[in-house]
């Protein structure tokens, strides 16, 4: 372990929670984590959390024999050639969207999709392979080049952000995906302004982070739509002013209620669930000239849009990580938290040990938690 020079980093044997059968509990196995290649960094995972995207992929047969997990924070254990922007011992947050800072999209203010180091669902961004094998030597599918449900993992240097050591690991962990997606969507994609109206479909970590972003921008009305009545209380902490439960409104479509609560529709409409039905409803809830932002992942989905509505200036856009430019924005989010401007504590509803990781799936699926922190050493 340690420096990559002279003898170089060795293989590491450690514990990982492996998805063997889609939709079945993860299985603990000893795995072998290869040393970092060029432009890669091996990290010791401190903690990880469960995002709904992990759950969607956990159910997909493409992820049989995989290591899931992409919200995490860790300590750099060894550094590959060309990855010296971080050093052994640094606290870092891996992000599934790389940010090389040199290519056209990285230099553009309007695009966060690095094209020099491209994000992938499977494998390391530069070559699509995995650095983790099982005890029999078979390669385990790597999610997003992160695979954080392992005590050690390897990530690309373009995908990691060095973290202020003062930042508590459990508070920074969900910034690795869900919370940054919501904040970025409110600030970068929508650019919500004071006095505007916002509707958010789905009040998980992503949707509540949109609310937090809209609250901090001074939005006048922030309408939350969720089937789970428990989201009313937590939503209020993030500035939700009105709550719609689609189960409690009879035959009336949600968009009609949004139009009644706003001046003929919301200025900004966010879909944070991952269903084409709620994406359509989000679009219908936006006013003429309004913007709909799709953040939810629907693995099979396709949308049918009324093109006349487009003529009235309505726009619809999707976004990876809410347009967050990770090396620029994550340090800003962290500073806002340390300055007590941004609320992060309220997102962390549960804390468990690595051995209990399957409980995190039960909690998220039951709608009982926003983010569950899974500590590797507990
Ligand atoms: P979550 O499971 O914590 O929250 C989803 C919320 O939606 C829950 O509160 C649930 O009660 C509610 N809900 C479910 N079905 C509903 C319905 N039909 N009507 C109203 N409410 C409904 O999920 P999360 O971790 O916040 O993720 C939300 C979505 O965002 C997922 O699809 C996830 O894959 C996606 N995501 C996308 C990005 C990105 O880069 N675009 C990043 C992170 C997550
Ligand atoms: Zn995620």
281 pLDDT exceeds 60?
Answer: yes
Kindly state if the Cβ of 367 falls inside 6 Å of ligand 1.
yes
The pair of structure tokens assigned to 12 is: 């590491």
pLDDT band at residue 2, thresholds of 50, 70 and 90? very low
Q: 226 in ligand 1 pocket by Cβ < 6 Å? A: yes
CA distances from 225 to 10, 247, 255, 301, 346 (A): 50, 10, 10, 20, 19
Name the closest-CA residue to atom 1, ligand 1.
Answer: 204
pLDDT > 50? residue 4: no
Which of helix, strand or coil describes residue 13? Answer: strand
Question: Contact at 8 Å (CB) between 322 and 184?
Answer: yes
Tokens of 159: 């995908």
Q: Say how many Å lie between the first and final Cα of the chain, rounded.
A: 22
The residue contributing the CA closest to ligand 1 atom 13 is 202
Q: Ligand 1, from 51, 71, 370: best to mutate by most atoms within 8 Å of Cβ?
A: 51
9 pLDDT tier (thresholds 50, 70, 90): confident
Residue 272 has pLDDT above 80, yes or no: yes
Cα 55 to Cα 118: distance, rounded to the nearest angstrom: 23
Q: How does pLDDT run across 104-144, given as a tens digit for each residue? A: 999 999 999 999 999 999 999 999 999 999 999 999 999 99
**Confidence band for 275, pLDDT divided at 50, 70 and 90:** very high
β-bridge pairing 40-49 and 71-79 = antiparallel
Smallest CA-to-CA distance from 71 within 367, 366, 344, 368 is with: 344
Q: What is the mean pLDDT of residues 206-234?
A: 97
Nearest-5° angle of CA 173, CA 278, CA 64?
55
> Measured in angstroms, how far is the CA atom of residue 363 from the centroid of ligand 1?
14
Q: What is the mean pLDDT of residues 254-268?
A: 97
Helix 276-285 and helix 254-261: axis angle, to 10°?
A: 30
pLDDT band at 92 (very low <50, low <70, confident <90, very high): very high
The pTM for the full model equals 0.96
Token pair, residue 302, equals: 């396709």
Question: What confidence tens digit (pLDDT) does each residue in 40-90 have?
Answer: 999 999 999 999 999 999 999 888 999 999 999 999 999 999 999 999 999
Token duo for residue 30: 């000893």
Q: Which two tokens stand for residue 188?
A: 């970068």
Average pLDDT over residues 206-227: 98
Does residue 3 surpass a pLDDT of 60? no
Ligand 1, from 272, 292, 364: best to mutate by most atoms within 8 Å of Cβ?
272
Query: Ligand 1 within 6 A of 246 CB?
Result: yes
Give the pLDDT mean for 250-273.
97
**Torsional sign, CA 169, 352, 26, 297:** negative
CB distance 175 to ligand 1 below 6 Å? no
Name the average pLDDT for the chain.
95
Burial class (CB in 10 A: 0-12, 13-18, 19+), 373: buried
Give nearest CA residue, ligand 1 atom 12.
Answer: 202
Q: Render pLDDT for 284-309 as a digit per residue (tens, 0 to 9).
A: 999 999 999 999 998 888 898 889 99
Interacting residues of 162 by C-beta distance below 8 A, sequence separation 6+:
85, 86, 90, 91, 92
Across 23-43, average pLDDT: 98
Residue 6 has pLDDT above 60, yes or no: no
pLDDT of residue 1: 43
Torsion of CA 97, 101, 104, 107, to 10 degrees: 110
CB 206 less than 6 A from any atom of ligand 1: yes
Q: Which helix (H) or strand (E) holds 141?
A: strand 141-142
Region 150-166: mean pLDDT is 97
State the residue for tokens 């009040």: 203
What's the whole-number mean pLDDT along residues 12-34?
A: 97
What pLDDT is stored for residue 151 in this prediction? 98
157 Cβ closer than 6 Å to some ligand 1 atom:
no
pLDDT greater than 90 at residue 8: no
d(CA 140, CA 152): 14
């Amino acid at each position: 372990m340690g420096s990559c020079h002279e003898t170089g980093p060795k293989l590491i044997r450690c514990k990982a929670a492996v998805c063997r059968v889609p939709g079945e509990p993860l299985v603990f196995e000893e795995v072998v984590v290869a040393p970092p290649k060029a432009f890669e960094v091996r990290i010791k995972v401190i903690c990880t959390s469960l995002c709904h995207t992990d759950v969607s992929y956990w159910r997909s047969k493409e992820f049989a024999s995989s290591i899931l997990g992409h919200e995490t924070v860790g300590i750099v254990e060894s550094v590959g050639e060309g990855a010296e922007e971080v050093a052994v011992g640094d606290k870092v947050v891996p992000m599934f969207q790389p940010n090389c800072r040199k290519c056209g999209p990285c230099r553009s203010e309007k695009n966060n999709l690095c094209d020099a180091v491209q994000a992938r669902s499977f494998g390391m961004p530069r070559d699509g392979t995995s650095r983790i094998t099982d005890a029999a030597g078979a390669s385990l599918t790597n999610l997003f080049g992160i695979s954080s449900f392992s005590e050690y993992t390897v990530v690309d240097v373009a995908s990691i952000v060095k973290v202020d050591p003062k930042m508590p690991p459990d508070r920074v962990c969900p910034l690795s995906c869900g919370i940054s997606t919501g904040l970025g969507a409110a600030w970068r994609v929508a650019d919500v302004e004071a006095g505007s109206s916002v509707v958010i479909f789905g009040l998980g970590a992503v949707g509540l982070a949109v609310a937090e972003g809209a609250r901090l921008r001074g939005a006048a009305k922030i309408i939350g739509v969720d089937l789970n009545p428990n989201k009313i209380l937590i939503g209020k902490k993030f500035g939700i002013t009105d709550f719609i439960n689609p189960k409690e409104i009879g035959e009336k479509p949600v968009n009609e209620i949004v139009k009644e609560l706003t001046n003929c529709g919301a200025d900004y409409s966010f879909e944070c669930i991952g269903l084409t039905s709620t994406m359509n409803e989000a679009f219908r809830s936006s006013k003429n000239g309004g913007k709909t932002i799709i953040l939810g992942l629907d693995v099979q989905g396709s949308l049918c849009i009324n093109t006349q509505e487009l003529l009235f200036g309505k726009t619809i856009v999707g976004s990876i990580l809410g347009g967050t430019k990770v090396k620029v924005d994550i340090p800003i989010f962290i500073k806002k938290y340390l300055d007590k401007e941004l609320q992060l504590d309220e997102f962390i509803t549960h804390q468990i040990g690595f051995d209990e990781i399957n409980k995190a799936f039960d909690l998220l699926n039951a709608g009982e938690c926003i983010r569950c922190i899974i500590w590797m050493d507990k």
